[in-house]
Amino acid sequence: MDKLGMLIGEFIQHCAEDRHYSPATCQAYESDLRRFARFMAKAHPDVVPAEIGSAHVRDFVTSLRGLKASTKCRKLNCLSCFFGYLVDRERVADNPVSEVERPRVARPLPVWVPPEEIQVLESVTRGARERAVLLTFVLTGVRRGELIRANIGDLDHELTSLRVDGKGNKERIVPIPAALREALVAYLRLRPRVDCPALFLNREHRRLGGRSLQRMMKRWLRDAGLSDRGYTIHSLRHSFATLLVRNNVDLRTVQELLGHSGISSTARYLHADLRSKTEAVEKLEGVLQVAVADTDEEAASDIVERVLVDCTT
């Protein structure tokens, strides 16, 4: 399977140089593809890349015992991108992954930070830089990597918008609201004048990195007494999206602000917004003029409990 290994190397180089994927994404792709190559070398040593079919891919998925369905799907998506690349370059005739059914993945609802807890996080930030970092996450919905890649030159001169270098080198413009503008001005006044173009610098006056952000978020949660909530930096992006949906911003606009390639990713925030759905359904009472009698909540709870007992005995 030396030929397969060579093709994998070409594909990873293509991802880095032509598709501008992040080093982390390229590393994950290479790890998944090397695992597939080792499987093929052991299970089907005589099969050349052009002969790899859907049956071989299904065998590979079967070999991934103990892995979560989401992990298997990620590996299949990686293989699909790889074979799609080979099809485009006429190295193979068909993409064998296209006929392989993906395992069903239960997508959890997004974990987001409510406004009152965001305010607590803001209160424990240390200095203008940390406050500007937090509010950039909360008020623009950028991903961690997008904030890290942001440069001073991505801000417009009036500090009304930020150009974001998103996934797959897709660029988008996000507006900067007044609260964030004030926080950025306070930070930029104190930012050292150095050659580094990064918007946010670390203590060594170099580009702020992922580990520094993780430590920052961990400390905010600890100082705010929120360490047990399961929040991450990405939860701040979920808060941005959820609060937009709750305030009746249309999904297409939310999709553009988040940089989602498909509306299905954005639609998750509709499912997370049970309160809005409840309020929407309750509007039917007025439209249909259904009479609503006062119901004692304690009595209602007793009735539900009794029915549940009857159903289980």
Query: Measured on CA atoms in the order 80, 83, 87, 88, is the torsion positive or negative?
Result: positive
Secondary structure of residue 151 in the 3-state scheme: strand
Catalytic positions are 143, 167, 234, 237, 260, 269
Contact (CB, 8 A) for 45 and 1: yes
Of 137, 123, 142, 21, nearest in space to 82 by CA? 21
Residues with Cβ within 8 Å of residue 172, at least 6 apart in sequence: 163, 164, 166, 256, 257, 259
Q: How far apart are CA 179 and CA 137, in angstroms?
A: 12
DSSP 176-223: --HHHHHHHHHHHHHS---S--BSSB-TTSSB--HHHHHHHHHHHHHH
Q: How far apart are CA 94 and CA 84, in angstroms?
A: 8
Secondary structure of residue 172 in the 3-state scheme: strand
Please report, for residues 121, 136, 201, 215, the alpha-carbon distance to residue 130 in angstroms, rounded to integers and kept in the order given: 10, 10, 11, 12
Amino acid at 278: T
Beta bridge partners of residue 174, listed in sequence order = 162
Q: How far apart are CA 187 and CA 133, in angstroms?
A: 9
